[in-house]
Amino acid sequence: MKKIFITGGAGFIGSAFIHQILEESSDIEVINFDALTYAGNPENLKGLDETRHKFVKGDICDKDAVLNALPADAEAVFNFAAESHVDRSITSASEFVTTNVLGTQVLLDAARARNVKRFVHISTDEVMGSLPDESNLYFTELSPLKPNSPYAASKAAAEHFVRAARETFGLDTVITRCGNNYGPRQFPEKLIPLMIANAMNDEALPVYGDGRNVRDWIYVEDHARAIWLAFERGKSGEVYNIGARNEQFNIDVVKAILDLLGKPHSLIKFVADRLGHDRRYAIEAEKSETELGWKPQTDWEDGLRKTIRWYQENQDWVERIRNGAYRDYYKKMYGASLK
Ligand code: NAD
Ligand code: DAU
């Protein structure tokens, strides 16, 4: 059995990655190290082959806990763990610095101490800032790092520490930078699951600003596949952008969700804009396509349909979140109470 150490595996993308890896291979054993913050959910791990999945509750900033859990013969560390929501980073940035920067450094040190063969760091296109409206400019791996939100700044800082671990100590590292993911099990603070959950409950759908910010959407399983290929085929020290060439205006995403659910557009409510709101993300993924032999497999319409179906079939999952601490978060964030 090959051992891989995954941080943040109870979250949205980490859990999708683990489901995919364990389904598609028989010689991989996963150690899933996750602090179970508000975004981590043990329910996301239901159905995994428990003989090859070991869950360890722990914080990536806790050096001893990481060293205890990380086996010396690990093939790789996949670092998904992060504070991941831009709006929360605007309200309070320090948790983002702690987990995303310090936590990454703790993992890098531990990976060296345990002779881990490769460190795969899951970063984001947001480190490259914002592109102008409807231009023909795209993020490439050579785009300068120009983070605009505290979240993006913490992810950019983490990337620098990953690079430094390779340049200084020779740790084998690969960084992936993906755009906006959507799919099953995404916490409903993010655009798509928030809009699906509100629409299903006939609640207002809060669209920031003019709704014409652009995001480049990718189905989570396509992202997970690209990360695995970056591990298997990526060159040490390289960065790989991951994107499905699927730019959408926010307002069009929200209307598409309402249409698929058969709900009226009158549920849309334009609200105050996000501070420092990045206008447009658009990824040139040619390097991943050619060097990793990766291509996205799920188109936007199918992916959105599958995602909506998952939320319809898993209303208990959504309601358990909406009935917990999320209610207070929503009230503070949107100034409105959920039904
Ligand atoms: P998420 O918020 O759904 O999950 C984060 C997970 O990390 C949770 O399970 C949480 O419990 C865990 N975690 C948080 N702090 C921790 C700590 N200190 N120690 C251990 N575990 C901790 O996030 P996600 O959307 O699945 O994103 C995963 C990664 O992918 C992040 O690094 C994020 O920056 C990156 N990313 C996300 C997207 C996206 O669209 N969601 C796009 C590109 C990159
Ligand atoms: O691009 C990758 C990034 O995508 C990841 O690194 C982040 O972890 C992930 O959260 C995501 O960041 P965004 O800020 O783009 O995602 P979010 O879902 O929060 O918002 C998407 C767009 O929708 C953005 O333009 C803001 C807007 N929005 C969001 C919310 C939550 C609204 O209009 N209303 C809302 O209520």
pLDDT tens, position by position, 8-38: 999 999 999 999 999 999 999 999 999 999 9
Ligand nearest to the CA of 248: 2
**Residue with CA nearest ligand 1 atom 29:** 80
84 CA from centroid of ligand 1 (Å): 5
Pocket test for ligand 1, best of 6, 37, 41 (most atoms within 8 A of CB): 37
Average pLDDT over the chain, rounded to an integer: 98
Residues within 6 Å of ligand 1 by CB:
7-8, 10-14, 34-37, 39-40, 59-61, 80-84, 99, 103, 122, 124, 155, 178, 180-181, 187
Whether the predicted pLDDT of 134 surpasses 90: no
189, amino acid identity: E
Whether 131 shows a pLDDT value over 90: the answer reads yes
Among 139, 181, 191, 248, say which to mutate for ligand 2: greatest number of ligand atoms within 8 Å of CB.
Answer: 191
Task: Return d(Cα 55, Cα 73) in angstroms, integer.
Answer: 18
Encode pLDDT of 217-242 as tens digits: 999 999 999 999 999 999 999 999 99
Show the domains of the chain with their CATH numbers.
2-181+217-242 (3.40.50.720), 183-215+246-276+299-329 (3.90.25.10)
- For residues 57, 58, 60, 64, the Cα torsion angle rounded to the nearest 10 degrees is -140
| pLDDT (mean) for 164-193 | 98
Q: What percent of the chain has pLDDT over 90?
A: 99
Residue in this structure with the two tokens 């188109």, named with its chain if needed: 299
Q: Please report the pLDDT score of residue 126 as a whole number.
A: 98
Residue having the nearest C-alpha atom to atom 34 of ligand 2:
207
- 208 ligand 2 Cβ < 6 A: yes
Q: What is the mean pLDDT of residues 262-275?
A: 98
pLDDT of residue 73: 85
Average pLDDT over residues 286-303: 98
Nearest CA to ligand 2 atom 7: 84
Mean of pLDDT values over 140-160? 98
For residues 94-113, give the mean pLDDT.
99
Q: What is the pLDDT of residue 135?
A: 82
Mean pLDDT of all residues in 299-316: 98
Which residues are catalytic, by number? Answer: 125-126, 151
Mapping DSSP onto H, E and C, the string for 93-154 reads CHHHHHHHHHHHHHHHHHHHHCCCCEEEEEEEHHHHCCECCCCCCCECCCCCCCCCCHHHHH
Name the strand (E) or helix (H) holding 272.
none
**Region 176-183: what's the mean pLDDT?**
99
- Residue 104's nearest CA partner among 85, 127, 77 is 77
Ligand nearest to the CA of 253: 2
The answer to whether 318 touches 188, Cβ cutoff 8 Å, is yes
Q: Which ligand is nearest to the CA of 10?
A: 1
Best of 80, 83, 149, 288 to mutate for ligand 1, by most ligand atoms within 8 A of CB? 80
